[in-house]
Structure 1
Amino acid sequence: MDIEKLSATDRVFFDIEGGALMMHIGALMVFEGGGLVSPDGSLDAATLTRLLEAGVSQVPRFRQVVREVAGLGAVWVDDERFRIEHHVSHTAVPHPGDDAQLMRLMGRIFSQPLDRRHPLWEASLVEGLSGGRFAILFKLHHAMVDGVAGIGLLASVFRTEPGDLSLSPAAWSPRHAPNTLQIATALASDSARSVAHALHDLRGSLGHGAQAKDIAGGLVHTLRDGLRPASPSSINPAEVGPHRTYTSTRLDLARAKEARKALGGTLNDVALAVVTGALRRYLARRGDPVEAMKDFRALVPVDLRPRMGEDGVGNHISLVLVHLPLSEPDARARFEAVHRACEHLKHDSHEIEGAAFIERVGDLGGPNVVTAVFRIASMLRAFNVTITNVPGPQVPIYVGRSRMTEIHAVVPLFTHQGVGVAIVSYDGGMYVGLYADPDAVPDVEALAADVQQSFEDLCAAAGHGR
């Protein structure tokens, strides 16, 4: 029997979820009315739901649930009772709603966990926005997708040109769900094959001493940083509360590219340097000893698709720790330190290879070693903040005839983590989303202002200030 097994990294996000730790990612997308909003501001939710279902019908994962077998793993199976009404809801902000009201709604909706009995996603259709706009709040479990795959899924649901409002979902017949014994047998067989492949690869690696040395060195670096605490700060609480707040700010992508070119790095270096500067400003204002924070770390997902030739949904990432120069007061020097840290990760430390090796071991089946390592790292506060940076489409996206004007992303909070940063680029903008525990970060809008100021400081250092 063919199965679609959750990878070791997929399972991490499923395993560690519980209580106030909710492992969903997502996006807030704002659209022009485009014939879906009437002059009084009401939204044609029925037509929009049908358009979403037409897009969802192209991606099997949207109609699948997770089935676990203790000690062996978990698989995706078709949900024989799938109904779009279980996943799409219709809500509103008081007309004419502004961005602040929309962000507050985002925080409330994302404070609720997904129902594991159903496919692991929800969409909230929001009417009442000023200017005849509407919004879609997409929430997807991190076990289902990583950030890159999430953008790919949204691209499958939406279109790059205005479309027909009469689209209907494709016909679908769910595959019969296997029973627990069938799933257990298939998982055991898959584990046996994985072990055989791993032994073959291991023999190949040992035959190439340099490759084996790189992996071993990467493991040492990964475990060294992952098993010791990062610098303490006031945004790293003893425990994460149950509530969430959200805000986002837009940076000009063309200016970010100019800064990257002038300073000699990558767009990811720009993003990390801007966030580092913003966190420094924010923490200094709160009285944190930022000059003494010599080991402030970010958990950063690295896309393995280009390296491994992998594709599709699921998590094809390696989770690595990046040292952020929070103690550095100069914007240009911060950028250069971030650039050195990223280059070291990519070319010298082999931590990406080390983390990927741990994940490969986890994929052999049985108790998930990746979950165990991640839980220990989280409990020890091995990182202060999660920062993701996902390149999105640089052309307009449409649902029906409605153009998406902006997109704001969400990354989950882990143990001891008061704020997560999700950056996504779209159609000339870099949108920096800030998802926070209000008990630890009660003024997330102030941090958004710090992001803007940090960006201006970096552009000025690159000779491209306003």
Structure 2
Amino acid sequence: MRALHPLDFLFLSLEKRQQPMHVGGLFLFQIPKDAAKTFIQDLVADIRLSKSIPVPPFNNKLNGLFWDNDPEFDLEHHFRHIALPHPGRIRELLTYISQEHSSLLDRAKPLWTCHLIEGIEGNRFAMYFKIHHSMIDGVAGMRLLEKSFSQDPQHQGITAPWCVANKRTKRLTDPEAPISKFKKFTNTLQSQLKATPTVLAELGCALKDKKNHHPDYVSSFQAPSSILNQRVSASRRFAAQSFELARLRSIAQHFNVTINDVVLAICSGALREYLLSQNALPKKPMIAMVPTSVRQDDSDVSNRITMILANLGTHLADPLARLSTIRRSVINAKQRFQRMSSDQILSYSACVYSPAGFNIVSGLMPKRQAFNLVISNLPGPKESLYWNGARLDAIYPASIVLDGQALNITMTSYAGKLEVGLTACRNAVPKMQNLLGHLEDEIVCFEQLMTTCNQDSINTMQHTQPS
């Protein structure tokens, strides 16, 4: 039995019919050229006949404020095998994912499902995996992914992802001295009390920055209203694309910024162009919530994330000015977090962002929000992975949209590519797929600036620090 972390409880509390709180991933595989015609059927049979026992968190279900093992675990409820209708294009695949990502998970069972999808053009198949955000965060999900597959294309007999054990899950499943619920509660309380003095000091610094209108400090409820910030329906649209990571790395090196800065900058430019096309660009800069991991162990369950509020500078037409604005706001937030431990960061975040969470839950101030959208960038596997000889070609993350935040951009790196997944409310964000084209246009724009912009402009941006 494992206690719910406060963040896990928050994700569960936020869920409602039009606001599912699960995350997912679309994994696209290439069937080996020499594979038997029954490759997919054999893979499905191996999964269904597997004697392996699911490991945490995949065998955990809700039991009040705790995760408990499901004594009636039924694989048929969680694993599904389907085939796309002809011609099996990526368009049909993304339509299916959009539909499945709209549906709620059953809380009477462990909160995950896996869909193996065949019939995709180009001799490919896919796996769509969705799991409730209360069970796992993005970094933990990537760790599970790397353990589930192999770097060896000749490796056969790889078990299903939900049966992959490791040191952490063995510790969770091995018999141990029982710890009372009261003891777990008091341990958590003691940890929070120890963090209090530092957290209060940082809260004071944040209030001072807000009072003094620090140009690089981004406060809650600073985000302007936009078409992205309206109530969402239960319908989702999912779009995905891959970009060469080397292109972003070259831009980052040329302008002496991080790849994450470049990612936020191309998202900012793409949003600006998209909103201009909808005649809906706010006059004030849009704010992105950037999830940041504070996980300091090898665990791969629960959530250990906080968030940075980044000023996207969408009101600025100059791409370099937007990049500089983004960089300064991110550095300002990171400097604050560097002065705190992971527990202190989580406590600080709970204090600063709880009003925003309450507003999302209650809907009391629908025209006010702490941020306009979520932009997440997760580090993924650097080498190509294989599942019983089938090469994993792409990983497209699917995430959450909320009332007040109708668009989510989640990215991950994989084998030299940046894999982009866009998740949006179908009704609130028209022609959302156009953002993919705008992302490519922004990358091209920065590549052109690398050869045409004034060196003095680059030096000015490189040496600009938060004041």
What's the secondary structure of 1:249's corresponding residue? strand
Give a deviation string over 1:139-191, Cα, whole Å, max 9, x none. Answer: 111111111111111122222222554456779999799xxxxx9x9333322
Verify: 1:417 aligned to 2:408, yes or no: no
Contact 1:219 1:355 survives alignment (8 Å): no
Q: Is the 8 A contact 1:236 1:418 kept in 2?
A: yes
Alignment of 1:108-119 (within 5 A): 108-119=99-110
Which residue, 243, 250, 259 being the options, matches 1:251?
A: 243
> Does residue 336 of structure 2 align to residue 345 of structure 1?
no
Match of 2:10 among 12, 16, 19: 12
* Secondary structure of residue in 2 paired with 1:66: strand
Q: Give distance in 2, aligned partners of 1:6 and 1:233.
A: 34
CA separation in 1, counterparts of 2:209 and 2:47? 48
Contact 1:29 1:407 in 2 (8 A): yes
Structure 2 unaligned segments of length 5 or more: list them: 212-216, 454-467
Aligned-partner residue type, residue 27 of structure 2: M
Cα offsets for 1:54-94 (capped at 9, x unmatched): 698574211111211xxxxx221111111222111011212
Distance 1:115 1:398 in 2: 30
Give 3-state SS (helix, strand or coil) of 2:85's partner: strand
1:65 to 61, 69, 72: 61
What is the distance in 1 between the residues matched to 2:107 and 2:140? 20
Q: Which of 293, 302, 305 is 1:303 aligned to?
A: 293
| TM-score, normalisation: structure 2 | 0.83
Residue 429 of structure 1: how far off its partner (Å): 0.7
Structure 2 counterparts to residues 384-395 of structure 1, below 5 A:
384-395=372-383
Q: Deviations over 1:340-365 (max 9, x none)?
A: 11111111x559959964744899xx
Check the 8 A contact 2:82/2:117 in 1, yes or no: yes
One-letter amino acid of the structure 1 residue matched with residue 62 of structure 2: V
Q: Which residue of structure 1 lines up, in the alignment, with residue 214 of structure 2?
A: none
Q: In 2, distance between residues paired with 1:146 and 1:464?
A: 41
| Displacement of 1:47 | 2.1
Quick one: which amino acid aligns to residue 387 of structure 2?
V
Query: How many residues are paired up?
Result: 434
Kept after mapping to 2: 8 A contact 1:218/1:350: no
Identify if the C-alpha distance between structure 1 residues 300 and 217 changes in structure 2 by more than 3 Å, giving closer, same or farther.
same
In 2 relative to 1, CA 265–162 (structure 1 residues): closer, same or farther, beyond 3 Å? same
| Equivalent-residue separation in structure 2 for 1:167 and 1:358 (angstroms) | 38
Q: 1:361 to 1:261 in 2, by over 3 A?
A: closer
Match of 1:304, as an amino acid? V
* Residue type at the aligned position of 2:315: S
Cα displacement (A) at 1:265: 0.8
1:180 counterpart residue number: none
CA distance in structure 2 between the partners assigned to 1:230 and 1:245 by the alignment: 24
Q: Secondary structure at the match of 2:393?
A: strand
Choose which of 420, 424, 432 in structure 2 pairs with 1:444. Answer: 432
Cα offset, 1:192, TM superposition: 1.8
- Corresponding residue of 1:314: 302
- The residue type paired with residue 246 of structure 2 is A
RMSD of aligned alpha carbons: 3.5
- Using the TM superposition, give the Cα deviation of residue 219 of structure 1 relative to its aligned residue in structure 2, in angstroms: 7.1
1:27 maps to what in 2?
Answer: 25
Paired residues for 1:19-418 under 5 Å: 19-34=17-32, 39=37, 44-45=40-41, 47-48=43-44, 50-51=46-47, 57=53, 59-68=55-64, 74-167=65-158, 186-202=180-196, 205=197, 213-218=201-206, 227-228=220-221, 230-237=223-230, 239-290=231-282, 292-294=283-285, 296-305=286-295, 308-309=296-297, 311-347=299-335, 349-350=336-337, 353=340, 357=344, 359-360=346-347, 374-376=357-359, 379=363, 380-418=368-406
Greater alpha carbon shift after TM alignment, 8-17 vs 452-461: 452-461
Q: Would the aligned equivalents of 1:216 and 1:354 in 2 still touch at CA under 8 Å? A: no
Report if the CA contact (8 A) 2:309-2:330 is conserved.
no
Task: Return the letter of the residue paired with 2:186.
Answer: A
- Structure 2 distance, partners of 1:433, 1:417, is 16
Aligned to 2:459: none
C-alpha distance after superposition, 1:260-304 (max 9, x if no partner): 0001111110111110000000000111244x123x111111111
SS of aligned partner of 2:247: helix
Rounded to whole Å, the distance in 2 between the matches of 1:150 and 1:344 is: 28
Q: Work out whether residues 392 and 424 of structure 1, in 8 Å CA contact, stay in contact via their aligned partners in 2.
A: yes
CA distance in 2 between partners of 1:127 and 1:319 (Å):
37
C-alpha change, 1:356 and 1:168, in structure 2 (3 Å) is closer
**What is the TM-score with the length of structure 1 in the denominator?**
0.83
Query: In structure 2, what residue type is equivalent to 1:65?
Result: K
Instruction: Describe the SS at the equivalent of 1:460.
Output: helix
- Give the Cα–Cα distance (whole angstroms) in 2 for the partners of residues 163 and 94 of structure 1: 31
| Shift, 1:400, TM fit | 0.7
- Matches of 2:298 and 2:203, distance apart in 1: 20
Asked whether the equivalents of residues 23 and 412 of structure 1 are also in contact (C-alpha less than 8 Å), the reply is yes
Query: Against the structure 1 CA distance between its residues 56 and 269, is the aligned structure 2 distance closer, same or farther, given a 3 Å change threshold?
Result: farther
Deviates more, 1:42-51 or 1:128-137: 42-51
